[in-house]
Structure 1
Amino acid sequence: MSEGFGLVVRFELRDQEAASAFDALCSETLKGITQHEPGTLAYVTHTPIGEPLVRVFYELYEDRSAFEAHEAQPHTKRFLAERERYLTGVDVTFLNAVARKVAA
């Protein structure tokens, strides 16, 4: 089994209009992830209950190399460049897997 590498990202959005545009950007980005990133095991966007202007991403990769491949993709670069206009804050926590079960 490979080492596993993940991250949790909390995005704070300016307002509801920014949240809607950010969600659309996320949907577009997810298409590229689904089509071009076999090493991305999970990429999930959440809205915390009671926090409509917050999005939390959970990302799981086969290993650090798969994460680096994700970061190098055109769809990811576009997301990183465009997201700033919608945000008031970002908090990233990187994770190394200790134990895991991933659906096949």
Structure 2
Amino acid sequence: MFVLVVRFDLPDAAAAEAFDGLVRAAVPDILASEPGTLTYVPHAVLDEPLARVFYEVYRDKAAHAAHEDRPATAAFLARVRELQPVIRVEAMTPR
């Protein structure tokens, strides 16, 4: 199992709204098209209206690599980086 927690701190409400729209469009495709993606859940952070966190669980590192290699993922990340170029990614180990 390979787990990521990814945090996005968006600069303003317009960027947060655009980000949420991108997420609404991307997540169903990810879940339908990536059998190695076991969990892919976006979250809003309580009391931080411009912060978003993804909790991502992949079967293994190869499944994550397959996720990253998809053109749809590349397009999503390119658009997200236009909204917020700094993305915090933490690889986690289940205990």
Matched, 1:31 2:28: yes
Question: Matched residue of 2:45: which SS?
Answer: coil
Residue in structure 1 matched with residue 80 of structure 2 by the alignment: 83
1:26 maps to a residue whose letter is V
Equivalent pair of 1:12/1:88 in contact (CA under 8 Å): no
* Structure 1 runs not aligned, ≥5 long: 99-104
Number of aligned residue pairs: 95
Q: C-alpha displacement at 1:31, in angstroms? A: 2.3
Q: C-alpha displacement at 1:86, in angstroms? A: 1.3
Equivalent pair of 1:12/1:55 in contact (CA under 8 Å): yes
Question: Matched residue of 1:32: which SS?
Answer: helix
Question: Matched residue of 1:79: which SS?
Answer: helix
Residue in structure 1 matching 2:62, options 59, 62, 65: 65
Q: C-alpha displacement at 1:35, in angstroms? A: 1.8
Specify the structure having the higher radius of gyration (Cα).
Answer: 1
- Deviation digits for residues 50-91 of structure 1 (CA, Å, limit 9, x no counterpart): 000000110000111110110111211111111012116321
Matched, 1:92 2:71: no
Equivalent pair of 1:14/1:88 in contact (CA under 8 Å): no
- Deviation digits for residues 34-60 of structure 1 (CA, Å, limit 9, x no counterpart): 221011010011111100000011000
Classify 1:71/1:15 alpha carbon distance in 2 versus 1 (closer, same or farther; 3 Å). Answer: same
CA-based RMSD: 1.2
